[in-house]
Chain A
Amino acid sequence: GAVVSQHPSWVICKSGTSVKIECRSLDFQATTMFWYRQFPKQSLMLMATSNEGSKATYEQGVEKDKFLINHASLTLSTLTVTSAHPEDSSFYICSAILAGAGDTQYFGPGTRLTVL
Chain B
Amino acid sequence: DAKTTQPNSMESNEEEPVHLPCNHSTISGTDYIHWYRQLPSQGPEYVIHGLTSNVNNRMASLAIAEDRKSSTLILHRATLRDAAVYYCILRVGWDYKLSFGAGTTVTVRA
Partners in one complex: yes
On A, residues with C-beta under 8 Å from B are 4, 6, 32, 34, 36, 43-46, 49, 91, 93-95, 97, 102-110
* Contacts between chains A and B (CB distance < 8 A), count: 48
Q: Which residues of A contact B36 (CB under 8 A)?
A: 105, 107
Q: Would you call A103 and B44 a contact (CB within 8 A)?
A: no
Q: Would you call B42 and A46 a contact (CB within 8 A)?
A: no
A38 vs chain B, min Cβ distance (A): 9
Contact with A along B73-110 (1 / 0, CB 8 A): 00000000000000100000000111111110000000
Q: Would you call B41 and A110 a contact (CB within 8 A)?
A: yes
Task: For chain B, give the interface size range.
Answer: 10 to 19
Interface centre among B32, B36, B96 (most CB of A within 10 A): B96
**Interchain Cβ contacts under 8 Å between A and B, 10 examples:** A32-B96, A36-B100, A46-B97, A46-B98, A102-B96, A103-B32, A105-B36, A105-B44, A105-B96, A110-B41
Q: Would you call B96 and A43 a contact (CB within 8 A)?
A: no
Q: Which residues of A contact B46 (CB under 8 A)?
A: 104-106
For window 34-49 of B, CB contacts with A under 8 Å fall at: 36, 38, 41-46, 49
- Within the assembled complex, what's the spacing in Å between the Cα atoms of A107 and B43? 6
Asked whether A34 and B97 contact (CB < 8 A) given A43-B102, A43-B103, the answer is yes
- Within the assembled complex, what's the spacing in Å between the Cα atoms of A108 and B43? 6
